[in-house]
Amino acid sequence: MAYPATIFDTALDAIGQTPLIRLDRIAQDAGLKCNLLGKLEATSPGGSVKDRVAKRMIEIAEEEGRLVPGKSVLIEPTSGNTGVGLAMAGAIKGYPVVVVLPQKMSIEKETAMRALGAEVVRTPIGLSPDSQLTHIAIAERLRRDIPGGVILDQYTNVNNPLAHELTTGPEIIDAVIASSKTSSRPSSGKVDVFVGPAGTGGTLTGVAHALKKVHNPAAVVVAVDVKGSLLALPESLNTPYAGMTYLIEGVGYDETPATLTREPGWIDTWVKTGDDDAFPALTQLLRREGLLVGGSSGSSLAGALQWLRDTEEGRAVAGREGANVVVLLPDGLRNYIAKDWFRDLATAGERTAVAQQLSDSLKAYVEEPGVAEPEKILSVNGMVV
């Protein structure tokens, strides 16, 4: 998808129109005949799919008079990416922003929000849903205490799924239709399957509405829930993993947000994935497709491959040339660089032949007369030559 040749007034105008990218190498590795396509939300100005939600919630709140420039203070409980989007919008529009963030979430998210001028409150992890120290409870207390405090609340705000029904879904549809007209590759001309991870559920709900209302009522929407979360249906899917902890951020909850549809006919099926599924899938996205995406993108891809491999309906799609399977890739790698799990992932694997050649060459080089210097070292992938 080509970016529009225009000058935007602000970064908010650049939100959306993210590319749909062929994941051909991963598809080939998995033996898929269908088209596997990734919706790359990391290219949005704030770095995630949540930019869309933040923008729409703010703009509608302004239209409705809930947000008043010079008076209102934005307060939001979030796992991070919505906070980044709100902080970006607040910087542009002049709203003070307070983000309430569980301690589990990455320092990179906090740093990005603070760099944009937001204040960040961290809350403990491992709390019961009825605890008064959850990020939602703390945000509500701050709203009561801070003059002009407004919580837009992505967990209940109808503009969360509407942002995706009006932008994310149509973008996917337009790209697939355009490709069927211009590409020499086989294409059904429609979105046959959409796969996305479940957090607040806004993306899944909104894209499902966009696909099934006007584009392709037969489209299959596959929701990916993390092991340890309680969002999947039927509830028996969650039982084997009750109480399990997970490292992936921005996905999974202990109770169902209002923005995740439970109406029959929108989300067709659920799959469960864990860290042990998501991290290998993330490695594929990094090293096979060169995409600098985050852990929830690994969850999304892992769920897609699981459904295509392990279900009768999925295998039928996997073997059909021209079928279009779209996988949401919610955010970028920027948010997780300092995480232990990412450092482990980035440095894992056997030493390559090229790395050995580098070491051999450099070792021989520093042994030549006049090359080596006291206390000066060379290293290859962190290992001293």
pLDDT recorded at residue 1: 44
pLDDT recorded at residue 339: 83
pLDDT recorded at residue 3: 56
Joined together, the tokens standing for residue 366 give 């520093």
CA nearest to 40, candidates 251, 246, 300, 339: 300
User: Residue written as tokens 């051999």?
Assistant: 360
* Residue of 39, 50, 55, 109 marked active site: 50
Active site annotation includes 55: no
CA distances from 303 to 186, 277, 281, 333 (A): 24, 8, 9, 19
CA distances from 179 to 36, 175, 183, 196, 344 (A): 13, 6, 5, 21, 38
Cα–Cα distance measured from residue 298 to residue 280, given in angstroms and rounded to the nearest whole number: 7
Residue type, 154: Q
User: Residue written as tokens 């399990």?
Assistant: 244
Q: Global pTM? A: 0.93
How does pLDDT run along the chain (385 residues), one tens digit per residue?
A: 455 678 999 999 999 999 999 999 999 999 999 999 999 999 999 999 999 999 999 999 999 999 999 999 999 998 789 999 999 999 999 999 999 998 888 888 899 999 999 999 999 988 887 889 888 899 999 999 999 999 999 999 999 999 999 999 999 999 999 998 777 889 999 999 999 999 999 999 999 999 999 999 999 999 999 999 999 999 999 999 998 999 998 899 888 999 999 999 999 999 999 999 999 999 999 999 999 999 999 999 999 999 999 999 999 999 999 999 999 999 999 888 888 888 888 887 778 899 899 999 999 999 999 998 888 888 888 888 8
Q: Which residues contact 316 (CB under 8 A, 6 or more apart)?
A: none
